[in-house]
């Protein structure tokens, strides 16, 4: 697992500074309730970026409730009793009535074959009326509007497999307002418009997966490559689960995973660390300490043979090839980063030169060294897009030929040196904003237990040898650990089966 830095490191490298110098710019502290802050002072401009990193994502969705982490992400923008309601006492009653009617509906549905369809239809009508009434008390988009009216930009969030992040930027003179808003939305969230947002989450799945050949193929790959680990359920949640999510389930998820000890906040920009500490104590100490959430204990069994899955779609041909690999804590993790650069980094990658440039078999041949996440054993992923008139079969054959040559011929010193130079250059290029720095501080801290891994990851890459590359390629790029997912064209009517 690797994340790259930037403008922050450019002056450091130019001045031959090191980690010890950068540490002087960073302040870390943990509140009594367990919530952790990492603050980087960059006082060149009067702006501040915030990133709230919650170690809870789609991997933590309970069985039968996939999509729940994503649902709470949506709820976190709905406000509080004092933000987003025209009349909170009446809205609270209306929301309770919605859940009461929904409980009656579920009770009837659970009768299965003995359920009364007319009764279900009647209760569904009552449920719609109760929801419509509750929505009358909602002041739409109140939370984001306050942020925008005070100069906030970039307000957004994202739910991944391993974490959920909330982020935006404020003028430096609005720092205390951020502390008020962010602490309140996790201290007193109101799950208003839940069923409206459930429809939104369902539509997002439809767009990103069901109507997207690449998304559909990716879901098939994960469901085939993993038979036990929750990686197999993908990030979007299953349609039938989403359609039946309940507000009470989202509340349970929030109470379990949005505990202070499971949250890390990164702040980067024009701030005074002492003032940040004072505001953190004032606002976030209100969050009650609660037990840390349960760990994921399911271990994926060893794969004992190649797997393959076809997805029928009229789209252009696409192909994913994944090989099982260890997690990001393995000693060989930096070797995989070197391998991905040698094989598939732009026009110098071996796959590009062979399959795209020379043989013109593919439009693209790229890779991801860690997929879909790094905390658990995962996949080294290759993505091939056949050129017009070329097939997945031709691409797969050529791919294996390149891979076998790579495994049997050591990387030369010039190529290895170029890879390491690119790693350093990428580190300097990619982080040119406070928001990027705030994100990386939290991501590295949660992923590795220490944000300093941003720096030491370069040292790890520099230690990789040609022997390491060949050893790891031979060990992991083997048929027994391989899963192939490819698209196939639907058969024409009347064609032979």
197-224 pLDDT, tens digit each: 999 999 999 999 999 999 999 999 999 9
2, part of any domain? no
Claim to verify: residue 324 and residue 261 sit in the same structural domain: no
Claim to verify: residue 260 and residue 348 sit in the same structural domain: no
Residue 94 and residue 129 in contact, taking contact as beta carbons nearer than 8 Å: no
Claim to verify: residue 352 and residue 484 sit in the same structural domain: yes
Claim to verify: residue 316 and residue 424 sit in the same structural domain: yes
Residue 98 and residue 127 in contact, taking contact as beta carbons nearer than 8 Å: yes
Claim to verify: residue 237 and residue 312 sit in the same structural domain: no
The domain that contains 170 carries what CATH number?
3.30.830.10
Q: Of 253, 284, 315, which marks where a domain is finished?
A: 284
Rounded average pLDDT over 322-328? 98
Per-residue pLDDT at 11 exceeds 70: no
Domain that holds residue 327: 307-488
Residue identified by tokens 């009508």 is 125
Band (494; pLDDT cuts 50, 70, 90): low
Claim to verify: residue 364 and residue 401 sit in the same structural domain: yes
Type and span of the H or E element at 50: strand 47-54
Mean pLDDT for all residues in the chain:
92
Claim to verify: residue 245 and residue 339 sit in the same structural domain: no
Residue 40 and residue 100: Cα distance in Å, rounded? 47
Residue 277 and residue 369: Cα distance in Å, rounded? 38
Rounded average pLDDT over 92-115? 96
Q: Please write the tens of the pLDDT for every residue from 227-262.
A: 999 999 877 899 999 999 999 999 999 999 999 999
108, part of any domain? no
115: its two tokens: 């359920």
Residue identified by tokens 């994202």 is 158
* Number of domains into which the chain is organized: 2
11, part of any domain? no
Claim to verify: residue 359 and residue 272 sit in the same structural domain: no
The structure's pTM equals 0.92
Claim to verify: residue 205 and residue 320 sit in the same structural domain: no
Rounded average pLDDT over 409-438? 81
Rounded average pLDDT over 381-407? 97
Claim to verify: residue 65 and residue 144 sit in the same structural domain: yes
Residue 325 and residue 187: Cα distance in Å, rounded? 39
Query: How confident is the model at residue 16, as a pLDDT?
Result: 30
Claim to verify: residue 246 and residue 365 sit in the same structural domain: no
115, part of any domain? no
Q: Of 224, 250, 284, which marks where a domain is finished?
A: 284
DSSP bridge pairs for 374: none
Of how many residues is the chain composed? 497
3-state secondary structure of 353: helix
Residue 306 and residue 73: Cα distance in Å, rounded? 37
Claim to verify: residue 363 and residue 465 sit in the same structural domain: yes
Query: How confident is the model at residue 393, as a pLDDT?
Result: 97
Cα 335 from chain centre: 23
């Amino acid at each position: 697992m690797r994340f790259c830095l930037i403008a922050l490191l450019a002056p450091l490298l130019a001045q031959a500074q090191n980690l010890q110098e950068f540490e002087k710019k960073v302040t870390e502290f943990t509140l009594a309730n367990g919530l952790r802050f990492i603050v980087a002072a960059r006082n060149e401009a009067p702006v501040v970026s915030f990133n709230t990193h919650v170690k809870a994502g789609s991997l933590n969705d309970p069985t039968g409730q996939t999509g729940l982490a994503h649902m709470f992400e949506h709820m976190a923008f709905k406000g509080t009793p004092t933000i987003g309601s025209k009349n909170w006492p009446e809205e609270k009653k209306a929301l309770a009535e919605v859940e009461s009617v929904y409980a009656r509906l579920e009770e009837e549905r659970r009768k299965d074959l003995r359920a009364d369809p007319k009764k279900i239809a009647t209760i569904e009508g009552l449920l719609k009326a109760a929801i419509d009434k509750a929505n009358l008390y909602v002041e739409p988009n109140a939370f984001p509007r306050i942020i925008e009216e005070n100069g906030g930009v970039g307000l957004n969030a994202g739910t991944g497999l391993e974490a959920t992040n909330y982020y935006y930027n404020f003028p430096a003179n609005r720092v205390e307002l951020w502390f008020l808003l962010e602490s309140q939305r996790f201290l007193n969230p109101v799950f208003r418009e839940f069923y409206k947002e459930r429809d939104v989450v369902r539509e997002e799945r439809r767009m990103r997966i069901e109507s997207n050949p690449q998304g559909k193929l990716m879901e098939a790959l994960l469901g085939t490559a993993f038979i036990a680990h929750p990686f197999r359920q993908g990030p979007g949640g299953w349609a039938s689960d989403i359609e039946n999510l309940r507000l009470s389930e989202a509340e349970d998820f929030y109470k379990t995973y949005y505990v202070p000890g499971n949250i890390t906040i990164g702040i980067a920009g024009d701030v005074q660390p002492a003032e940040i500490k004072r505001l953190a104590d004032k606002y976030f100490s209100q969050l009650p300490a609660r037990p840390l959430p349960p760990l994921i204990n399911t271990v994926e069994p060893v794969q004992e043979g190649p797997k393959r899955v076809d997805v029928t779609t009229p789209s252009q041909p696409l192909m994913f090839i994944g090989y099982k690999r260890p997690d990001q804590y393995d000693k060989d993790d930096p070797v995989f980063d070197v391998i991905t650069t040698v094989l598939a980094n732009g026009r110098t990658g071996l796959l590009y030169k062979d399959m795209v440039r020379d043989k013109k078999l593919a439009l693209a041949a790229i890779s991801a060294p860690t997929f879909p996440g790094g905390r658990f054993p995962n996949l080294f992923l290759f993505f091939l897009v056949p050129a017009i008139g070329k097939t997945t079969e031709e691409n797969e054959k050529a791919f294996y030929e390149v891979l076998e040559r790579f495994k049997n011929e050591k990387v030369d010193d010039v190529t290895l040196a170029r890879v390491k130079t690119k790693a350093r250059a990428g580190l300097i290029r990619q982080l040119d904003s406070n928001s990027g720095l705030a994100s990386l501080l939290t991501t590295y801290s949660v992923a590795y237990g220490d944000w300093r891994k941003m720096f030491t990851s370069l040292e790890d890459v520099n230690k990789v040898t040609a022997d390491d590359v060949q050893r790891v390629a031979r060990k992991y790029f083997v048929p027994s650990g391989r899963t192939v997912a490819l698209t196939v064209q639907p058969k024409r009517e009347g064609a032979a089966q």
